[in-house]
């Protein structure tokens, strides 16, 4: 996914990205806290169904982290080995001795799971902010459309002296249809005025 391309602005899109991050974060943290001691003690990783499910969830979470614009990369401490990029490759890098976060000189670096959890938390905060911004934008657009499209109906009710509350349902439907026609004519006239068509 190219994070520089224009992203959809709907609140639903950002909410779905957040859901992908959150559905991976807690199960991953729980899993790592259970297995990391054994892994660091030299036991081989258990490739069970839980781990497979976490690998699948990490892929979706990685795409959501990229959509938030958070970059995550990790290389082995003090080495010129392969650098890993993205949530999915880094999430289980602690299973490899090269990426465990301790340099040959005894300095502590961030472990892969600490790096992943930090990236997930950053992405969650960014995605939440984008969801709220897109909700605000939609509210502003809604208010603008109501103002523009409601004005002809308001004028018609003033000119003809109609009280919308006292109209029967059939007459209200007729007035609504008239309002839609007036709105369409207003938009068409505005489009002609500014040269859209």
Residues 150, 119 within the same domain: no
Q: pLDDT at residue 3 above 50?
A: no
Residues 68, 157 within the same domain: no
Give DSSP secondary structure letters for 119-188.
HHHHHHHHHHHHHHHHHHHHHHHHHHHHHHHHHHHHHHHHHTT--GGGS-HHHHHHHHHHHHHHHHHHHH
Residues 75, 93 within the same domain: yes
pTM of this structure: 0.67
**2 in a domain, yes or no?**
no
Residue 4 pLDDT: 45
Of the residues 133, 163, 180, the one at which a domain ends? 133
Residues 48, 99 within the same domain: yes
**39 in a domain, yes or no?**
yes
**153 in a domain, yes or no?**
yes
- In which band, very low, low, confident or very high, does the pLDDT at 172 lie, cut at 50, 70 and 90? low
**95 in a domain, yes or no?**
yes
Mean pLDDT for the stretch of residues 3-18 = 75
Residues 54, 109 within the same domain: yes
Which run of H or of E encompasses 74? strand 73-74
Residue 111 pLDDT: 83
Task: Tell me which of 14 and 155 has the higher pLDDT.
Answer: 14
Residues 117, 164 within the same domain: no
The total number of structural domains that make up the chain: 2
Which run of H or of E encompasses 84? strand 84-85
The pLDDT tens digits of the residues spanning 111-164 come to 888 989 999 999 999 999 999 998 888 888 777 776 776 666 666 667 766 665
Residues 90, 179 within the same domain: no
Residues 147, 185 within the same domain: yes
Q: pLDDT at residue 2 above 50?
A: no
**20 in a domain, yes or no?**
yes
Please answer whether residues 9 and 137 qualify as being in contact, where contact means their C-beta atoms are separated by less than 8 angstroms: yes
Residues 23, 84 within the same domain: yes
**1 in a domain, yes or no?**
no
Residues 174, 125 within the same domain: no
Residue 74 pLDDT: 83
- In which band, very low, low, confident or very high, does the pLDDT at 186 lie, cut at 50, 70 and 90? confident
User: CA of 51: how far to CAs of 27, 31, 32, 91, 143, in Å?
Assistant: 10, 8, 10, 11, 48
**156 in a domain, yes or no?**
yes
* Domain encompassing residue 155: 136-194
Residues 176, 104 within the same domain: no
**5 in a domain, yes or no?**
no
The pLDDT tens digits of the residues spanning 15-70 come to 999 999 999 999 999 999 999 888 888 898 888 999 999 999 999 999 999 999 99
Residues 84, 96 within the same domain: yes
């Amino acid at each position: 996914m190219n994070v520089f391309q224009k992203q959809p602005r709907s609140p639903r899109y950002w909410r779905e990205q957040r859901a992908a991050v959150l559905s991976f974060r807690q199960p991953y943290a729980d899993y790592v806290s259970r297995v990391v001691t054994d892994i660091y003690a030299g036991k081989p990783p258990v490739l069970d169904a839980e781990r497979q499910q976490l690998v699948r969830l990490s892929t979706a979470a990685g795409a959501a982290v990229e959509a938030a614009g958070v970059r995550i990369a990790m290389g082995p401490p003090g080495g010129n080995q392969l650098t890993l990029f993205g949530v999915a490759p880094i999430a289980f890098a602690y299973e490899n001795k090269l990426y465990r976060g301790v340099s040959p000189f005894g300095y502590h670096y961030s472990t892969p799971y600490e790096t992943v959890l930090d990236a997930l938390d950053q992405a969650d905060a960014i995605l939440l902010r984008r969801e709220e911004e897109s909700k605000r934008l939609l509210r502003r657009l809604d208010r603008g459309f109501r103002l523009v499209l409601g004005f002809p109906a308001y004028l018609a009710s003033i000119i003809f002296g109609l009280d919308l509350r006292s109209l029967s349902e059939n007459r209200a439907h007729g007035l609504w249809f008239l309002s839609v026609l007036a709105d369409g004519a207003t938009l068409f006239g505005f489009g002609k005025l500014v040269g859209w068509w």
